Amino acid sequence: MKSQAAVLWGREQDWQILEIDLDPPTDHEVLVRWAAAGLCHSDQHLRTNDIGTPRAPGEGPDPRLFPLVGGHEGAGIIEAVGPGVDGLHPGDHVAASFFPICGRCKMCITGHTNLCDLGAETFSPGQISDGTPRYHYDGKPLNVMSKLGTFAEYGVVHEASLVKVGREFPLPAVALVSCGVTTGWGSAVYRAEVEQGDTVVVVGVGGVGMNAVQGAHMAGAKHVVAVDPVEFKRKSALDFGATHTAGSMEEALPLVIDLTRGQLADAVILVPSVMYGDLMGPAMALTGKNGTCVVTGVAPQGQAGCSVNLFELAMWQKEVRGVVFGAANPRFDIPNLLALYQAGRLKLDELVTRTYRLDQINEGYQDMLDGVNIRGVLVFD
């Protein structure tokens, strides 16, 4: 079948809207009609050489990475199912899960489905099912972002990469929970383990960081300091649970010292647009004794060094934690977060600053880079 899709042909290039060919789903695959897709920074990282399967240390990306159908944050409706699909049916509403969930590997059976072994092939060509392509343009195979490709009208997706949700939820809201909301919220609730009365600093309050603010607030933090150079985002953070704001970590330090009577933050959550090693020094300076610094933002794959005072790390018993997908279990947390949204406790609609058509995707990403959106969302007719 035919589908319109946003295709990236290489680094530093614009997205191109093309009519592509889709093969029908095979074993354990479904045909999804995507209804909404979030413009997440992770797809931008592909354009800027930050991420993408390296062949070896010091070498460039796998030459099979491009051309690529983008998009990993999304929601849609199942149109058809292939042989062996269990629990999904035509008409079901689904959220994308950019880490698939096999349910059998060590990570899955120990409750860490966000680290499922199937995720190791995120940027490799071919389907989870058998490694062969379902997406083509002009007779040639296309790679697919996170095995999802939500920047398209239709997609052929493995059942392990989808989470069934209630039909009562608006699909743009479901799309947000499929990545950015869960990643940010879980960074605060699960990885930082924010508790009642804590002081939390969130560095970077875009589409992911804003939900770290929400998560910290919902977990009962006394102070939530939102740090961002963009005034619009700082002001918006106050509506999502921030109690204070600052334009930089250096500006935040005397504020946090004053708020905590010198004890500093219980948790610092780093969600900059790009995570560089030199951000660790000021982040750890904000982190108090027995505190936790959570690194959520994506760093360039070649970023190997960072600035950390090792004496303070040990003597103050600080902790640095990485996190992916908010340390969440998508099959539980995506429906659970939607239930919190339904109960009026989690803000989702307010995260969407603007919606775009598929052919406006480059405009949407430029708006993200210009800091005028919390989250932009593609909406399909």
- What are 246-272's pLDDT values in tens digits? 999 999 999 999 999 999 999 999 999
Model pLDDT, residue 8: 96
Helix (H, G, I), strand (E, B) or coil at 29: strand
State the average pLDDT over residues 314-336: 97
CA distances (Å), origin 165, targets 121, 143, 162: 25, 27, 9
Calpha distance 133→172 (Å, rounded): 28
Q: Taking the domains of the chain in order of start, what are their residue ranges?
A: 2-178+348-379, 185-323
Model pLDDT, residue 58: 59
Does residue 55 carry a pLDDT above 80? no
Does residue 37 carry a pLDDT above 70? yes
**Do the Cβ atoms of 71 and 43 come closer than 8 Å?**
yes
State the average pLDDT over residues 271-290: 96
Of 347, 35, 42, 30, the closest CA to residue 181 belongs to 347
Does residue 63 carry a pLDDT above 60? yes
**Do the Cβ atoms of 182 and 325 come closer than 8 Å?**
yes
- What are 158-187's pLDDT values in tens digits? 999 999 999 999 999 999 999 999 999 999
Among the residue ranges 67-81, 89-103, 111-125, 158-172, the one predicted with the least confidence is 111-125
Model pLDDT, residue 77: 98
pLDDT band at 57 (very low <50, low <70, confident <90, very high): low
Higher pLDDT, residue 61 or 51: 51
Q: Is the dihedral of CA 64, 68, 70, 75 positive or negative?
A: negative
Calpha distance 96→122 (Å, rounded): 13
Buried b or exposed e, range 355-373, using 16+ CB within 10 angstroms = ebebebbeebbebbeeeeb
Helix (H, G, I), strand (E, B) or coil at 156: strand
Assign 3-class secondary structure to 223-234.
EEEEECCCHHHH
The CATH-assigned architecture of domain 2-178+348-379 is Alpha-Beta Complex (3.90)
Higher pLDDT, residue 11 or 206: 206
Higher pLDDT, residue 60 or 160: 160
CATH code that applies to domain 185-323: 3.40.50.720
**For the chain, what is the mean pLDDT?**
95
Residues 6 or more apart whose CB falls under 8 angstroms from that of 335 comprise 163, 165, 166
Helix (H, G, I), strand (E, B) or coil at 185: helix
Q: Is the dihedral of CA 26, 98, 133, 381 positive or negative?
A: positive
Model pLDDT, residue 301: 83
